[in-house]
């Protein structure tokens, strides 16, 4: 079987070759560019969903973007960078008929920044900076089909895998009048999405998205501008340790900051906002402890995070490990998790029903008493924002605590 595509979008001729392909777990180290092996035993039909959903769990990537419609005389073209969980920078051009303008924007959360009078001014986020959402919409129709039926393997070249799919391009073809050819190109080593190419049968509508430099960027390239402010109430620990730790965590998150202490409150000025759940976690110590747990006893009860019915009694704190490394990753169903390497993790006693791992007093995982604790997996975390906040706390722990007060827009 052979499928050909027009040269305008850079497609190549694809052929199907049968092959055997074995893969296993991708883990990404926060602050590291390495991507390790993808999941073992993954099936061909599961790879397209894995390739896209997993890309969105990486720390960062660069992209080239081109979306056009000759029907509406419209085109957006440019390149950009994504730093998770939500920061985006894009430079390019926007054309509609005879009108053309240069785009130079950054965005995070519900806001975007545009240069105005030499200052980066915050505005409500527009469709122009929702590029990743647009790519997701193009893929989503096929991703939602059960058992991988939304994608068909066209070719396995070893270095790349090519899948055809039915795209959703409502914004470029609102009347649904056109037929499209679409290809998802996947990196054969990492199984991450590499290219998405879509073109109509008459070549009047096209969409191209190309990914590169995964996990190489620590932050988006943006001059500092004080557009938002997070305020913390300093609860305990030295102010110096609190401000230094906060700055390190924000830097790891990809945010430049300016920190001031005023009348006991710590004010953090940022160019782009931070998700509130992350902002709250940034002020917490990040202290990991190993607890001795019993099913019955006189000690205080503690609920395993996310499982209210699973109640344990805390008999004692039996170890205060040092965190050596934190790997942010996901399981075979693309649910976020952490793998944490610990030093000095051996408990003083194993004479309990269970051992538990707690961070800042919250119980995240429960293990059998004979379970090794030098390398632990924390999977009981609800969202990507939560697991990212936990990774930041563990990687950059501090001997201080701040309570989140609010985050507000300055201009």
Distances from the Cα of 1 to the Cαs of 13, 18, 44, 86, 283, in angstroms?
Answer: 11, 12, 18, 41, 58
User: Do 324 and 252 fall into the same domain?
Assistant: no
pLDDT at 121: 84
Q: Are 155 and 183 contacting, i.e. CB atoms less than 8 angstroms apart? A: no
**Both 187 and 314 in a single domain?**
no
Q: List, in sequence order, every residue forming a beta bridge with 235; answer none if it has no partner.
A: none
Number of domains in the chain: 3
Confidence of residue 15 (pLDDT cuts 50, 70, 90): very low
Cα–Cα distance measured from residue 320 to residue 332, given in angstroms and rounded to the nearest whole number: 31
- Distance separating alpha carbons of residues 226 and 409, to the nearest angstrom: 9
Whether 194 is in a domain gets the answer: yes
Q: Strand locations in 224-321, DSSP E?
A: 228-237, 257-262, 265-270, 288-294, 301-304, 307-319
Does residue 301 lie within any of the structural domains? yes
Residue 16, domain extent: 2-212
pLDDT digits (tens, 9 = 90+) for 72-99: 999 999 999 998 778 899 999 999 999 9
Whole-number Å distance between alpha carbons of 324 and 320 = 13
Residue 36 banded pLDDT, cuts 50, 70, 90 = low
Same-domain status, 270 and 386: no
Whichever domain contains 266, its CATH number is 3.30.70.3400
List the structure tokens of 405. 């007060």
Taking the C-alpha atoms of residue 277 and residue 337, their distance in angstroms, rounded to an integer, is 17
- 217 falls within a domain: no
What Rg, from alpha-carbon coordinates, does the chain have?
A: 24
Which helix H or strand E contains 243, and what residues bound it? helix 239-252
- For the segment 259-272, the average pLDDT, to the nearest whole number, is 92
Q: Is pLDDT above 70 for 197?
A: yes
> What span, in angstroms and rounded, lies between the C-alpha atoms of 151 and 143?
8
163-182, pLDDT tens digit by residue?
999 999 988 899 889 999 99
* 190 falls within a domain: yes
Structure tokens at 85: 């969980």
Domain shared by 339 and 353, yes or no: yes
Cα 371 to chain centroid distance, Å, stands at 30
What percent of the chain stands above pLDDT 70?
Answer: 89
* pLDDT beyond 60 at 4: no
Q: Are 288 and 359 in contact (CB under 8 A)?
A: yes
Q: Specify if 222 maps to a domain.
A: no
Q: What is the pLDDT of residue 38?
A: 80
Residues 139, 257, single domain; the answer is no
Domain boundary among 212, 238, 262: 212
Q: Residue 54 domain-assigned?
A: yes
Residues 125 and 244 in one domain: no
Together in a domain, 18 and 65: yes
Question: Is residue 79 a part of any domain in this protein?
Answer: yes
Q: Select the highest-mean-pLDDT range: 23-37, 144-158, 300-314, 382-396.
A: 144-158
- Spatial separation of the C-alpha atoms in residues 370 and 320, rounded to whole Å: 18
pTM: 0.74
Q: Are residues 100 and 116 in the same domain?
A: yes
Q: Are residues 108 and 32 in the same domain?
A: yes
Query: Which residue is it, tokens 């066209």?
Result: 154
When comparing pLDDT for 33 and 364, which is higher? 364
Please indicate, yes or no, whether residues 292 and 278 belong to a single structural domain of this protein.
no
Q: From the CB of residue 43, how many other CB atoms can be counted at a distance below 10 Å?
A: 11
**CA atoms of 122 and 115, how far apart (whole Å):** 9
- Is the backbone peptide bond immediately before 85 cis, with ω within 30 degrees of 0? yes
Looking at the fold, whether 180 and 33 belong to one and the same domain comes out as yes
Any idea what the Cα angle at residue 366 is, between residues 392 and 381, rounded to 5°? 40
Euclidean distance between CA atoms 93 and 293, whole angstroms: 59
Instruction: Assess if residue 223 is contained within a domain.
Output: no
Q: What is the dihedral angle through the alpha carbons of 23, 28, 34, 36, rounded to the nearest 10 degrees?
A: -20
150 and 99 in a single domain? The answer is: yes
CATH number of residue 173's parent domain = 2.50.20
Nearest to 259 by CA among 238, 235, 232: 232
* Preceding amide of 83 cis, omega within 30: no
- Tell which of 184, 212, 240 closes a domain: 212
Instruction: List the alpha helices (DSSP H) in 6-87.
Output: 47-55
- Mean pLDDT, the chain, rounded, equals 85
**Distance between CA atoms of residues 329 and 348, nearest Å:** 30
């Amino acid at each position: 079987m052979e499928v050909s595509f027009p040269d305008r979008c850079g497609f190549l001729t694809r052929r199907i070759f049968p092959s055997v392909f074995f893969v296993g777990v991708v883990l990404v180290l926060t602050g590291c560019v390495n991507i390790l092996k993808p999941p073992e035993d993954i099936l061909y039909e599961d790879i397209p969903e894995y390739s896209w959903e997993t890309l969105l769990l990486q720390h960062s990537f660069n992209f080239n973007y081109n979306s056009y419609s000759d029907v509406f005389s419209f085109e957006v073209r440019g390149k950009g960078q994504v730093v998770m969980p939500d920061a985006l920078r894009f430079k390019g051009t926007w054309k509609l008929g005879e009108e053309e303008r240069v785009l130079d924007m950054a965005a995070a959360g519900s806001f975007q920044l545009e240069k105005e009078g030499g200052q980066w001014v915050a505005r409500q986020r527009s469709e122009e900076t929702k590029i990743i959402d647009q790519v997701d919409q193009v893929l989503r129709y096929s991703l939602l089909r059960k058992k991988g039926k939304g994608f068909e393997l066209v070719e396995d070249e070893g270095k790349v895998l090519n899948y055809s799919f039915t795209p959703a391009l409502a914004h470029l073809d609102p009347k649904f009048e056109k037929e499209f050819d679409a290809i998802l190109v996947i990196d054969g080593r990492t199984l991450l999405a590499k290219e998405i190419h879509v073109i109509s049968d008459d070549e009047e509508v096209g969409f191209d998205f190309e990914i590169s430099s995964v996990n190489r960027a620590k932050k988006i390239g943006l001059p500092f501008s004080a557009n938002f402010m997070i305020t913390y109430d300093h609860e305990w620990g030295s102010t110096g340790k609190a401000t230094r730790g906060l700055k390190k965590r924000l830097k790891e998150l990809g945010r430049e900051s300016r920190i001031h202490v005023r009348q006991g409150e710590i004010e953090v000025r940022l160019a782009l906002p931070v998700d509130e759940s992350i902002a709250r976690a940034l002020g917490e110590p990040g202290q990991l402890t190993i607890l001795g747990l019993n099913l019955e006893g006189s000690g205080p009860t503690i609920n395993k995070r996310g499982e209210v019915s699973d109640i344990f009694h805390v008999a004692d704190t039996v170890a205060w490990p040092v965190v050596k490394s934190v790997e942010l990753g996901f399981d075979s169903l693309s649910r976020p998790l952490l793998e944490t390497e610990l030093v000095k993790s051996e408990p003083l006693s194993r004479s309990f029903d269970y051992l538990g791992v707690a961070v800042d007093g919250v119980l995240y995982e429960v293990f059998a008493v004979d379970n090794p604790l030098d390398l632990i997996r924390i999977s009981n975390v609800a969202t990507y924002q939560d697991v990212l906040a936990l990774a930041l706390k563990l990687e950059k722990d501090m001997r201080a605590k701040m309570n989140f007060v609010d985050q507000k827009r300055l201009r």
